[in-house]
Structure 1
């Protein structure tokens, strides 16, 4: 594995970590808004949907 290969791999990891961080923030805000809009009646369902979306989008 050459230096260029290692650089590309490192850039991919950094990029995917950034995507995970951003997607987590977006999902958290959306879940918070949904909980507020429903008056907390569906918090469990909102959390389940948020977790499912995170698994589909992110790497953690």
Structure 2
């Protein structure tokens, strides 16, 4: 079992917490870089949400 599979299995069922963690990590990166890499950070956040299941579900509004 790969590391990614282990992480996915640990996060399964905790999508809302995963989403909060991804959001907080992105905000921290934006703060540390003073927004210089905001576009790249946003892209990374979306990929993380897709990978780990923290993305938008049927009951969540679309992200800006």
Instruction: Give the alignment's TM-score, normalised by structure 2.
Output: 0.63
Moved over 6 A (4+): none
Greater relative contact order: 1 or 2 (C-alpha under 8 angstroms, separation 6 or more)? 1
RMSD, matched Cα: 1.5
Asked which structure has the greater CA Rg, the reply is 1
Aligned length: 44
Unmatched runs of 5 consecutive residues or more in structure 2: 1-11, 56-64
Separation of aligned partners in 1, 2:52 and 2:42: 15
1:34-53 aligned at under 5 Å gives the runs 34-53=29-48
What is the CA-CA distance between 1:59 and the residue it aligns to?
A: 5.9
1:11 aligned residue: none
Unmatched runs of 5 consecutive residues or more in structure 1: 1-14
